[in-house]
A and B are shown apart, each in its own frame.
Chain A
Amino acid sequence: METTARAIAERVARTSYGRLVAYLSSRSRDIAGAEDALADAFRAALETWPDRGVPANPEAWLLTAARRTLGHARRHEKVRAEAEPALTLLGEEMDGLAHPVPDRRLNLLFVCAHPAIDPDIRTPLMLQSVLGMEAATIAAAFLAPPGAMAQRLVRAKAKIRAAFIPFEMPEADDLAERVDAVLVAIYAAYGAGWEDVLGGDAKRKGLAEEALFLGRMAVDLLPQNPEARGLLALMLHCEARKRARRSANGSFVPLAEQDTALWSVPMIAEAEAHMLTAARAAQLGRFQLEAAIQSVHAQRLRTGRTEWRALMLFYDLLAAGTPAAGILVSRAAAHGEAVSPQDGLQQLDLLDADAMRTYQPYWAARAHLLARAGKASEARAAYRTAIGLAEDEAIRSFLRRKQELIRAD
């Protein structure tokens, strides 16, 4: 129970914090200033709300705390000068209106994922400005040195301010592209580029919960957008299988061998509901297709089997619009299962050999298909490459077991 209260308090604190940062920065264009003004209040909320309960008006609480801190702390002279007018104004508005501040978080997401911002820093920027994550935590998740990450975040916020990146909603003809950039950045926080069918290394960033939070927020803010729902459904499907992904002793279990009893039925149901709503818009996109692929895998829960032909079809459609390496390799793997290992290998041979040389999922897929095609020595060599390129010890030992099975033939 205590963890639930804690989780709820934290969620409310993050939501309110995000709304306030978004509102303040949409007025001042100064994200760093808004964050600084609210940092102490946010920290205090995270400390006290789980024990004492969430206040009736969380945003008013944060704002009052922020103004009090500013009043006291002379050491924050610079912060005070920049944030005080905005906080005062906001406080007056809220006293008068007594309802939540206008939600500008979508505008803030569009700013973070603006084309003038380096794609690599968009996700960290969102995690910090919208969720209040510390730079050090973000750095750890992205395997970056904390100092360097902090510096890149500061630089990005300075650019938003100096270059006058607009907080207004994008023009209608840009909207789809801009929404896509936001969704891609949210998906990057989730960090699973493809489902682990064959022992491909998925670079998990360990931010699944934060990504889901942002995904739900995107659906709330863009209820008519089918791709936002597609992304949320995709992440929910992957997250539903979290417990089945590792065995009791921590070893890697590929999707095809997972115990479906360990899958989360409520999460799968939630994913399916979002996909259904999305389908009504009749605008198929990349995330809906990826969700559809995960939905096919999820059907094994009911049917006991995997419809590889359906997977192949969805991967063909997906690869036509989004020819990313992970998708192309998964597509070849689906061909290998649906048609024949030879067909899968043929698809792999069509990929850019140079780009694939150090791409681990390619070698995991290739090894699997070669083994199924009965090419023992080639398969052993491909497994060796896949093992050598893997970053995760659980994946390495899984692939070693597969490799030894060939030797036993």
Chain B
Amino acid sequence: MHYMLIFTEPQEQFAERNDPEKGPAYWGAWGAYIAALNGAGIVISGNGLEEPHTGTTLRIRDGKRIIHDGPFPDSKEQLGGYFIIDVPDLDAALEWAARSPSASYGSTEIRPVLPPPPAL
């Protein structure tokens, strides 16, 4: 069963990434977590994402492209990264979500990956 672990982080934590004092702790925590995920042999794929302000959002309305600078929606917590893991069931996925650093200061959502549609 494939689940996407979706890590959302508040701005404070995004700021820690480039903070000379807090950066090592931030990256240390994520590095250890990702190493544990890889060590368990359950990772299908995954990535960290650049900070939200580097995002660009595009919508097409009435045939016109509306582009805006920044993420959608502009909320307190933003997507910081994701992993797709292969574990037996939701309880196992919850275990891995609980270990993610963002669960303690932001949030981690667990979403089942949609299985491919049955062949017609």
Contact = CB atoms under 8 A, between A and B. Distances in A.
B4 to A, nearest CB: 12
Interface of A is mostly: loop
A116 B94 contact: yes
A164 B94 contact: no
A165 B112 contact: no
Interface residues of A, number: 11
A166 interface: yes
B106 to A, nearest CB: 19
Interface string A195-218: 000000000000000000000000
A249 to B, nearest CB: 53
Contacts of A116: 90, 94
Contacts, number: 23
B112 A163 contact: yes
Nearest to B115: A162
Range for the number of chain B residues in contact with chain A: under 10
A344 B10 CA distance: 45
Interface of A: 114-116, 162-166, 168, 170-171
Contacts of B1: 164
A110 to B, nearest CB: 10
23 contacts: A114-B90, A115-B94, A116-B90, A116-B94, A162-B112, A163-B90, A163-B110, A163-B112, A164-B1, A164-B88, A164-B89, A164-B90, A164-B112, A165-B89, A165-B90, A165-B91, A166-B88, A166-B89, A166-B90, A166-B91, A168-B89, A170-B91, A171-B91
A98 to B, nearest CB: 32
Nearest to B111: A163
B28 to A, nearest CB: 28
Contacts of A163: 90, 110, 112
Max chain A Cβ within 10 angstroms of own Cβ: one of B88, B90, B110, B112: B90
A168 B89 CA distance: 10
A275 B110 CA distance: 41
